[in-house]
């Protein structure tokens, strides 16, 4: 499926050249025009092996992504667009440059500003092909468990991973659909659902990345039906609590953090659309899904198999050259086609002979009346007795740290009570709602 035979080439784009690839300002951008934009940008790129794709407009990102592929260059996707993250990615790839559609000051070394992408471009009449073994992108983990790590993705592996997502959504929705995404395209989940989908499926995408609930509603309203909203638990909670009315949806898709069942059910009831949670990682891409409001178990995509290990799970999937080990602990059901998540090896705690999981402690914290957001995590350094203590950051307007701690005493074993516990105005979430570990430590110190 990945076309791994030497010399195999795969199309950059599928479908008719007259089909919409994206929607910008309420207007459809057809595939032929998109390819003309790609050709024009590709001609402007310097000779190099790789570039950091900094485009914030999703359509500009899509054009730059494809232009780099056409030139045989790799898209570098740091975990954020912060200057230090961009510099770190570029330092690991000497001679690389950055490309974006904005006038950045200061700009990264060798910054290439995208030209304007006019709607009246003469459409291309042919589709470029890309070597299946070409390195299309290097994505970096979020840093939620430490330093971001690079993950190489070939064009063939992207084609294979998209097939799984497309099959799942086709069975859920049927046929073509239009996507609005609240997640950045640089994140692997955003890449899969809002960049690869428009290229490799009968899907078009909204050019923006709406953040506020009213902006999400406006973006959806500018697209034809059927519509799919690609989002995260953090963004979905804001939508549910906002009271905003959304145009008719065919489905929600969510990832990047565990979806509370109560939130999934509330979203389905409020907006009248099923919510599908997808399971994967930067290392593996998505390989399973479930309808969270009704299913405890996850269903594997076609040709994916899991092999539980004492300290995690080995994943075999069409997009992977070899099995990849994840820290997730699972139990298999239905002849191995479904699984239930039991926690993560890295989340398991043992203090004073007692065991718990960070996931369960987080659920207990968030269940406290008055707590709007929060996270429990383990510190790196051990105390004088050799124990790595538990800490917590809590968003709880109107509550004191003592009040939260008092409620926790009734909810968990005292040995796992977080010390320190700090009340904050907001958690230091990144663009996808994740919590980079370094940002947590800074917030805990009051930085």
End-of-domain residue from the set 289, 321, 342: 342
Tell me the pLDDT band of 168, cut-offs 50, 70 and 90: very high
Radius of gyration of the chain (CA): 22
Q: Report the candidate in 399, 400, 381, 89 with the shortest Cα–Cα distance to residue 391.
A: 381
In a domain, 37, yes or no: yes
3-state secondary structure (DSSP) of residue 203: strand
- Same domain for 288 and 425? no
Mind listing the pLDDT tens digit for each residue in 422-437? 999 999 988 777 888 8
Beta strands in 286-443 (DSSP E): 288-291, 298-300, 305-309, 312-316, 324-326, 328-333, 338-344, 348-351, 354-357, 373-382, 388-395, 421-423
pLDDT band for position 311 (cuts 50, 70, 90): confident
Question: Are 337 and 378 part of one and the same domain?
Answer: no
Q: Domain containing 276 — which CATH number?
A: 3.40.50.12780
pLDDT at 145: 53
Task: Find the mean pLDDT for residues 126-146.
Answer: 85
Do 61 and 210 fall within a single domain?
yes
**pLDDT value at residue 341:** 87
Is a pLDDT exceeding 90 seen at residue 131? yes
Which secondary-structure segment (H or E) carries 276? strand 275-279
Q: Which range marks the domain in which residue 439 is found?
A: 352-444
Q: Which residue has the higher pLDDT, 1 or 173?
A: 173
Say how far apart CA 432 and CA 233 lie, in whole Å.
9
pLDDT digits (tens, 9 = 90+) for 40-70: 999 999 999 999 999 999 999 999 999 999 9
Q: Which residue has the higher pLDDT, 143 or 38?
A: 38
CA-closest candidate to residue 299, choices 274, 332, 322, 329: 332
In this prediction, residues 244-258 reach a mean pLDDT of 94
> Is the model's pLDDT at 143 over the cut of 70?
no
For position 329, what pLDDT does the model report? Answer: 86
Residue 4 within any structural domain of the chain: no
Residue 347 lies in a domain: no
How many domains would you assign to the chain? 2
What are the tens digits of pLDDT across the range 406-423? 999 988 888 889 989 999
Is the pLDDT at 1 greater than 50? The verdict is: no
Token pair listed for 118: 């006019």
CATH number for the domain harbouring residue 357:
3.30.300.30
Domain boundary among 342, 369, 392: 342
Task: Using alpha carbons, select from 260, 262, 285 the residue that is nearest to residue 196.
Answer: 285
pTM for this predicted structure = 0.84
Which contiguous run of DSSP H or E holds residue 431? none
DSSP state of 415: G
Residue 161 included in any domain: yes
Give the range with max mean pLDDT: 88-97, 286-295, 375-384: 286-295
Q: Rounded mean pLDDT of 105-119? A: 89
Averaged pLDDT for residues 77-102: 89
Q: What is the pLDDT of residue 416?
A: 87
Same domain, 138 and 269: yes
d(CA 266, CA 31): 37
Which residues contact residue 283 at a Cβ distance below 8 angstroms, ignoring those fewer than 6 apart? 141, 151, 324, 326
Whether 1 maps to a domain, the answer reads no
The verdict on 410 and 338 lying in the same domain is no
- Based on the domain organization, do 366 and 326 belong to the same domain? no
| pLDDT computed for residue 356 by the predictor | 78
Same domain, 120 and 249: yes
The secondary element (H helix, E strand) that includes residue 310 is: none
- Please name the residues in contact with 428: beta carbons below 8 A apart, sequence gap of 6 or more: 435, 436, 439, 440, 442, 443
When pLDDT is cut at 50, 70 and 90, the band that residue 105 belongs to is confident
Res 438: pLDDT: 86
DSSP state of 195: I
pLDDT bracket for residue 352 (50, 70, 90)? low
Q: Are 17 and 84 members of one domain?
A: yes
392 within a domain of the structure (yes/no)? yes
State residue 358's pLDDT score. 84
Between residues 78 and 386, which one has the greater pLDDT? 78
Least confident of 30-44, 54-68, 337-351, 365-379: 337-351
Verify that 374 and 298 share a domain, yes or no: no
Predicted confidence (pLDDT) per residue in 6-18, tens digit: 679 999 999 999 9
Q: Are residues 328 and 394 in the same domain?
A: no
Does 43 fall in a domain? Answer: yes
Q: How many CA atoms lie within 13 A of 136 on its CB side?
A: 26
Do 324 and 210 fall within a single domain?
yes
Last residue of a domain, one of 342, 369, 402: 342
Q: Is residue 2 part of a domain?
A: no
| Same domain, yes or no: 187 and 255 | yes
* Nearest Cα to Cα of residue 285 among 202, 190, 173, 206: 190
């Amino acid at each position: 499926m990945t076309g791994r035979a030497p010399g195999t080439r795969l199309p950059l784009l599928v479908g008719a050249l007259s089909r919409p690839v994206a929607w910008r300002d309420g207007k459809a951008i057809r595939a032929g025009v998109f390819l003309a934009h790609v050709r024009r940008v590709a001609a402007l790129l310097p000779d190099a092996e790789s570039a950091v794709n900094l485009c914030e407009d999703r359509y500009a990102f899509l054009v730059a992504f494809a232009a780099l592929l056409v030139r045989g260059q790799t898209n570098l996707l740091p975990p954020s667009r912060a200057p230090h993250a961009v510099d770190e990615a570029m330092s690991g790839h000497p001679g690389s440059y950055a490309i974006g559609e904005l006038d950045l000051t200061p700009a990264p070394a060798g910054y290439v500003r995208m030209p304007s992408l006019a709607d009246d471009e003469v459409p291309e009449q042919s589709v470029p092909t890309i070597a299946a073994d070409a390195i299309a992108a290097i994505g970096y983990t979020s840093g939620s468990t430490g330093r971001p790590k690079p993950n190489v993705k070939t064009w063939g592996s992207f084609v294979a991973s998209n097939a799984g997502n497309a099959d799942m959504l086709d069975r859920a929705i049927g046929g073509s659909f239009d996507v609005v995404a609240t997640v950045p395209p640089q994140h692997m989940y955003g890449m899969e659902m809002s960049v690869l989908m428009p290229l490799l499926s009968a899907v078009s995408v909204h050019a923006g990345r709406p953040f506020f609930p009213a902006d999400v509603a406006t973006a959806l309203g500018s697209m034809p039906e059927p519509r799919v909203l690609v989002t995260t638990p953090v963004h979905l909670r804001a939508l549910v609590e906002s009271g905003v009315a959304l145009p008719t949806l065919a489905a929600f898709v969510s990832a990047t953090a565990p979806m509370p069942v109560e939130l999934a059910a509330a979203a389905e009831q409020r907006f009248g659309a099923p919510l599908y949670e997808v399971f994967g990682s930067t290392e593996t891409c998505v390989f399973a899904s479930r309808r969270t409001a009704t299913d405890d178990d996850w269903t594997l995509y076609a040709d994916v198999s899991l092999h539980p290990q004492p300290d995690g799970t080995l994943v075999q999937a069409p997009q992977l050259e070899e099995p990849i080990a994840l820290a997730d602990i699972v139990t298999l059901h239905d002849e191995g086609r479904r699984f239930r998540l039991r926690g993560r090896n890295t989340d398991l705690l043992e203090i004073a002979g007692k065991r718990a999981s960070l996931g369960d402690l987080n659920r207990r914290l968030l269940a406290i009346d008055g707590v709007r957001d929060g996270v429990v995590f383990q510190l790196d350094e051990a105390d004088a007795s050799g124990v790595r203590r538990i800490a917590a950051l809590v968003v709880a307007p109107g509550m004191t740290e003592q009040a939260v701690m008092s409620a926790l005493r009734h909810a968990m074993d005292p040995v796992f009570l977080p010390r320190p516990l700090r009340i904050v105005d907001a958690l230091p979430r990144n663009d996808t709602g994740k919590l980079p570990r370094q940002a947590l430590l800074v917030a805990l110190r009051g930085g």
